[in-house]
Chain A
């Protein structure tokens, strides 16, 4: 018998079985999370399933992040209903302005190494950065898990992603993951787990890991897992969290595929409208004008994203005329950090706009919406037609440096021009 992957080990542990790829197991859940996008339907299923109480209420959270703040009366009222349900059942609420639930989960020790977290949101996979098996489900599965405290999962095959070498200047973790999405395609990891490995991992900070894990789902993955190491420990300690129970893959674990990315060969990348996997090097991108630059989301709204954008923005006085440049911090903690370190003021002085911490403009649920015919360049994870609330806009996905370079030029631009 060969050894096990991280996914096989965590699901074995949570189901008290010796499970392998292909087994369907019923697992205990360490933490559950819903968002204001998924919670209204979760409440509806919970009631129709005759749910009386939440099995593990203190470890069940809801994040008011998609409508942060609510743009209309209907969503504001949904928030009131969610707060009332949460209070009645003793569950935890991340309030409007606390940020994107996925970032808050990581910052508050609710997703720890070795844990199993189920979230009614596809980007729940983000906590794989912390060696946590985290996966997205719909509202009905979440309601059932809230009532019973368990979920059925099929133990996934694992693709090993070997990251080797060092990135060149102005090449970002976003460029690594866009290149990987191009290689594997939108369903290249469907039903599977990604396990990130290789000598370059040690050099990736937690923001980079969270971005890679986050975008695993853009390849269809069930989860995107990292090993725990000194960076993991330091992140958890800095946020006052437990160290968890790290799980490592066995050296003879079996992988269905291995993909190697040589980071030293990578140039800045860009995903063209309207698919995440239509990726080309920025140097081959069409010479399109840009009217909106967006730095935000659970993929690219962290403090380091703003810092890296500013490093390029500083090469000029101000952004190009006619460009709307927006930053939406991923959490209140991040907002506080970029306020204190002066980067927020610098961004505003350059012509930038700040939105409330949360999901912002990512999927058109609140915040600025692009106009007809507008080209957006964004640090987000999705660029589907209509994604930001207008099917007549086109969305390009790139690193914060590439977004900043494009803000300065008013056209898609290579950040290496601003060395």
Chain B
């Protein structure tokens, strides 16, 4: 089975982070380009955040990350900021789908023990796990359904379409 690993620095957020907090709807009036929008990432709740992002940072949140609107820029802007994974106790269903479709890995796990700046290693192989290299704690992530895994391993829905020549059929469990 293919293995995907992502390593980076934890950036902490709380519960119920809605998509308007990730990127304000009004910014869409001026651009949809993730590389432009990244300068406004989390501006309503953390105006310093966008300037402090480093490539490979990993978002770590509580419950219900990405609630509110289904707007997909809330996923693409995160990728535009060179962030490859989001860890949360739970996601809104639209954010979860949008993340997967764009190659941003959503990881459902108990994030309560993770501190700002912790070094994290996410591994999606036979198992799906997170190792906190700063604290030494290992976490088990909720397994991906077969269809979700197919899209994740393809790198998103666009490459998945290119590979399958259309809508991916459900892999057998």
- Chain A contacts to B: CB under 8 angstroms: 24, 26, 37-38, 40-41, 45, 48-50, 67, 71-72, 74-75, 120-122, 136-141, 144, 147-148, 150, 152, 154, 186-187, 190-191, 220, 222, 275, 363-365, 382, 384-387, 389, 391
Contact = CB atoms under 8 A, between A and B. Distances in A.
A152 B150 CA distance: 12
B64 A365 contact: no
A166 to B, nearest CB: 32
Contacts of B157: 45, 49, 140-141, 144
Given A72-B30, A391-B44, 10 more contacts: A48-B158, A138-B70, A187-B64, A220-B92, A364-B25, A365-B29, A382-B18, A386-B20, A389-B25, A389-B26
A159 B129 CA distance: 31
A363 B20 CA distance: 9
B67 interface: yes
Given A140-B158, A147-B166, A385-B44, A363 B70 contact: no
A137 B98 CA distance: 8
Interface stretch (B48-56, B71-79, B109-117, B130-138): B71-79
Given A137-B70, A144-B161, A24 B145 contact: yes
Interface of B: 16, 18, 20-21, 24-26, 28-32, 43-45, 63-64, 67-73, 75-76, 90, 92-94, 97-98, 101-102, 145-147, 156-158, 161-162, 166-167, 169-170
A122 B90 contact: no
Given A75-B29, A137-B94, A222-B93, A186 B16 contact: yes
In the A-B complex, the 4 residue pairs with the smallest Cβ-Cβ separation, listed nearest first, are A187-B64, A148-B167, A138-B72, A138-B98
Contacts of A154: 145
A136 B90 contact: no
Contacts of A191: 93
A41 B98 CA distance: 12
A140 B102 contact: yes
Contact of B30 (A74, A275, A385): A74
A148 B146 CA distance: 19
21 contacts: A24-B147, A37-B25, A38-B71, A41-B72, A49-B157, A49-B158, A137-B94, A137-B97, A138-B71, A138-B72, A140-B98, A140-B156, A141-B97, A147-B161, A152-B170, A187-B67, A187-B92, A365-B26, A384-B21, A386-B21, A389-B24
Given A186-B16, A385-B44, A386-B24, A122 B29 contact: no
Nearest to B91: A190
B66 to A, nearest CB: 10
Nearest to B21: A384
A143 to B, nearest CB: 8
Contacts of B145: 24, 154
Nearest to A44: B32
Given A49-B157, A222-B93, A364-B26, A382 B70 contact: no
A139 B68 CA distance: 15
A187 B24 contact: no
Contacts of A186: 16, 64, 67
Contact of A140 (B25, B29, B72): B72
A138 B20 contact: no
A147 B69 CA distance: 23
